Amino acid sequence: MAHCFARQRHDNKTNKSALFMNRIFTFSITLFALISTAAQSAEPTYPDDQKQIVGTAASISEETQSVWVSGPLIDVYAGPGQSYPIVHTLEKGEKLELHKQYTRWIKVTSQSGIDGWIAATDTAKLFDANGRPLTERKPINDHAGRFSLQLALGTFDGDSYGSMGIGSGLSENLRIDGILGHSTDGPLQGRHLYGALTLDLKQFKFVAEKPWQPYASLGYGVYNADGNINGIKNFDTFKSSIGVRYNFFQEIEATFEYSRDVILVTGNNNIHADGLKVGVMTYF
C-alpha cells in the first residue's frame, strides 16, 4: 500500500512537471511567432498632424516627392540601416525621389534610377522645388518593428526579484514582451514566465516632448513555486503594471515599474502580490 501511494505521488509530480513544460513550450512558440510577425511587418504610424515624412515641404505621406541635394555628399544604403552596403552617393545638385519612411530611414530613388535608403537626419541637406529646406519629422517613437532587451532587479511580495525579457514593437505605441523572472526568497520563491502587451502613453501631449515615457501593460503566464502552495507548484497568473521609462543615452532607457500579480489558486484563495523593479532597456 505504501509503495503504491509513493508511486502515485511520483506519477502526480511527473504529470505536473510535464504540464508545466508543455505550457512553457506553447507559450514560447506563440511568443516567437508574434515577435517574428511584428518584426517583419510593423512600421511606425504618425499622428494626424505629422503625416509628412519631412518638414515644411509638400506632403509625401502618400505620393512621391522630388527634392534636390543642397549640401555635402549623402550616402544611399541598400536597406534601412548603416549595416547595409552603400549603393550610391548623392552629390550636390542631384535630384532624387522620396517615397516612404521606416523608423529613421527614408526610401529614395536617385535620378539615375538607383533605389535605396538615406538616414532621415540627412533631410537637412535637401530642398524642395520651391527652394525650401527639409527637416526631419519624427514619429512618436521609432520602436516599431524593433526588438528590445530588458533587465531588471527589485522586489516581489517584499522579497528579492530579478527578471530579463525580450520584446518587439508592434507599432509606435504597442509592444509585446516575453519575461522570465525569479523571486529568490520568501514564501513565493519561484520562477515566473509570462507574456505582456505594453501600451506606451507618449502620444498624450503632456509627455510628448519629455525624455520620460509612462506606460501600462497587461500580462498572462505561469508561476512555478520552488516549494508548494496547497500541495501544488504550478499556477496561472495575471499581471498588470504601470511604469515610466527614461531615455538617458541614445538607445538605452532606465525603467521604473510597479506591478500587481494575481496568482490563481484553487478555490477563492487567489494570491495577490505587489512588485517594484528598476531596470534598463535597449533596442536593436
Same domain, residue pair 177 and 254? yes
Which amino acid is residue 262, in one-letter code?
V
Domain assignment of residue 132, yes or no: no
Shared domain for 186 and 253, answered yes or no, is yes
Domain closes at, from 102, 127, 152: 127
pLDDT in tens, 193-244: 999 999 887 665 555 456 678 899 999 999 999 888 778 889 999 999 999 9
102, 221: one domain: no
The residues facing 67 across adjacent strands are: 96
Whether residues 184 and 235 fall in one domain: yes
269 shares a domain with 154: yes
When divided into structural domains, the chain yields a total of: 2
Q: Looking at the structure, do residues 272 and 162 belong to the same domain, yes or no?
A: yes
Provide the pLDDT for residue 223.
Answer: 94
Q: Which long-range contacts (CB under 8 A, 24 or more apart) does 243-246 make?
A: 243/214, 243/215, 243/216, 243/217, 244/212, 244/213, 244/214, 244/215, 245/212, 245/213, 245/215, 245/281, 246/211, 246/212, 246/213
Residue ending a domain, among 83, 100, 127, is 127
Same domain, 155 and 246: yes
The verdict on residue 92 lying in a domain is yes
Q: Does some domain include residue 133?
A: no
Q: Distance from first CA to last CA of the chain, Å, rounded?
A: 59
**How distant is the alpha carbon of residue 74 from its chain centre?**
30
Residue 195, domain CATH: 2.40.160.20
Same-domain pairing of 225 and 105: no
* 134 belongs to a structural domain: no
pLDDT tens digits, one per residue of 106-165: 889 998 899 999 988 888 888 887 777 776 555 545 666 788 999 999 999 989 999 999
User: What per-residue confidence (pLDDT) applies to 238?
Assistant: 94
Residue 30 and residue 88 in one domain:
no
CATH of the domain at 101: 2.30.30.40
User: Do 150 and 255 fall into the same domain?
Assistant: yes
Do the domain assignments include residue 137?
no
Domain boundary among 94, 127, 160: 127
- Whether residue 14 lies inside any domain: the answer is yes
The reply to whether 122 and 244 lie within a common domain is no
Per residue in 69-108, is it b (16+ CB within 10 Å) or e — as a string? beeeebebbeebeeeeeeebebeeebebbbbebbbebbbb
The DSSP bridge partners found for residue 258 are: 242, 276
Question: Are 36 and 52 in a shared domain?
Answer: no
Residue-range definition of the domain harbouring residue 95 = 48-127
**Which residue in the block uniquely carries the three cell numbers 509628412?**
52
What does the mean pLDDT of the chain come to? 77
Tracing cell 502613453 back to the chain, one arrives at: 201
Residue 40 pLDDT more than 50?
no
Determine which of 6-10, 236-240, 275-279 has the lowest per-residue pLDDT on average. 6-10
Whether 192 maps to a domain, the answer reads yes
Q: Has residue 9 been placed in a domain?
A: yes
